[in-house]
Amino acid sequence: MLLSHRDATTYSNATMIRSMTGFGAAAAEAEGCRFSVEVKSVNNRFFKCSVRLPDELSALEAEIEALVAKRLSRGSVSVVVRFVPGGRVAGVEINPEAVRALLSQLMDALPLELRDRATVDLASLLAAPGIAHTQGGEALLALARPVLLQLVDEAVAAALVAKSREGAELSKELVRYGEVIANALDAVRVLSPASVKAYEDRLRTRMIALLAEAGAKVDEGTILREVAVFAERSDIAEEITRLSGHLAQYTQVISPAHGEAAGRTLDFLAQEMLREANTIASKSQEVEIARRVVEMKTAIDRIKEQSQNAE
């Protein structure tokens, strides 16, 4: 036994995010038979589970997959079960027809000059699918079911610890990116009203310079109308509000109190935050706001990348 379900739950609750990458293994003996289980998880946008079992235990595939699906919500998960018979289920029955058919195919595949010198490794031959199966049938399944389900649970628990350990490092990065976005957004919020006044000053200066040559005076009404049009066109208050809302939700998702798989939500939030940042950039003409938007977009891109590693 490696770790209990409770141990893994306690560890994972102590971290904000779980990585999709993890490995766990467990082994046990029962009535002379040896069982072992390995669980490996790698990145995948959705949950996908493949179970590899010895032929004599294939009836347990659906139960094992269902058990894994209860514990893991995202990633490509591979479960490998190994079994060495012994005790009352140690009898092995060989399928003579399958042996003859396999040997015939092997000989046909060899060049003529090599057939007389060819040798057969019996261990490898017995390991080929359909060649041999363990006697015992229902008795073997009755013995193996509780043992294997327990081992799968332990192996998944061990994988969860590894996933949580990597997730703790991932969480630190996600918190840092959120802080970068928040700081840049605060700066944009302050700079936005000032950009309208700066535009008015520039417009007034240009008009005074142009009209001075013709001896005309600046029409204040014209300036105010132009400033009003600019203010309407460059108003980013709505985008700032929406981006603030997305950022608040992001903070909740990466907090330890969230308690749910966050990878897909982070990916969605990154897309929405990037959309608002792009709109702010397209509306604003201020260099400082543009610089702050670049900071936000860089952090958002990193969040999007890291969301692909989060369960």
Listed by start position, the domains of the chain span 5-167, 169-307
Q: What is the pLDDT of residue 218?
A: 56
Query: Which DSSP category does 309 fall into?
Result: T
Q: What is the pLDDT of residue 158?
A: 95
Mean pLDDT for the stretch of residues 65-78: 92
Q: What is the pLDDT of residue 294?
A: 95
What is the pLDDT confidence band of residue 185, given thresholds at 50, 70 and 90?
A: very high
SS3 category, 219:
coil
pLDDT reading at 221 higher than 90? no
Q: CA quadruple 127, 132, 134, 138: dihedral positive or negative?
A: positive
Q: CA quadruple 259, 262, 268, 269: dihedral positive or negative?
A: positive
Mean pLDDT for the stretch of residues 272-297: 90
pLDDT reading at 282 higher than 60? yes
pLDDT reading at 141 higher than 50? yes
Q: What is the pLDDT of residue 135?
A: 54
Q: What is the pLDDT of residue 261?
A: 74
Give the separation between CA 257 and CA 271, rounded to whole angstroms.
23
- Say which residues have a Cβ less than 8 Å from residue 264's Cβ, sequence separation at least 6: 45, 74, 307
Q: What is the pLDDT of residues 79-105, one digit of tens each?
A: 999 988 875 554 556 778 888 888 888
Least confident segment among 52-56, 82-86, 171-175, 299-303: 82-86
Give the separation between CA 52 and CA 48, rounded to whole angstroms.
13
Mapping DSSP onto H, E and C, the string for 50-83 reads EEECCHHHHHHHHHHHHHHHHHCCCEEEEEEEEE
Give the separation between CA 158 and CA 175, rounded to whole angstroms.
26
Q: What percent of the chain has pLDDT over 70?
A: 76
- CA 262 to mean position of chain CA atoms: 9
Q: What is the pLDDT of residues 198-218, one digit of tens each?
A: 655 565 566 556 556 656 665
What is the pLDDT confidence band of residue 120, given thresholds at 50, 70 and 90?
A: confident
Q: What is the pLDDT of residue 232?
A: 52
- Say which residues have a Cβ less than 8 Å from residue 276's Cβ, sequence separation at least 6: 239, 242, 243, 246
pLDDT reading at 225 higher than 90? no
Q: What is the pLDDT of residues 28-61, one digit of tens each?
A: 998 888 999 999 999 888 899 999 998 888 899 9
Q: Which residue has the higher pLDDT, 8 or 70?
A: 70
- Say which residues have a Cβ less than 8 Å from residue 58's Cβ, sequence separation at least 6: none
Contact 211, 218 (CB under 8 A): yes
pLDDT reading at 66 higher than 90? yes
Mean pLDDT for the stretch of residues 1-8: 36
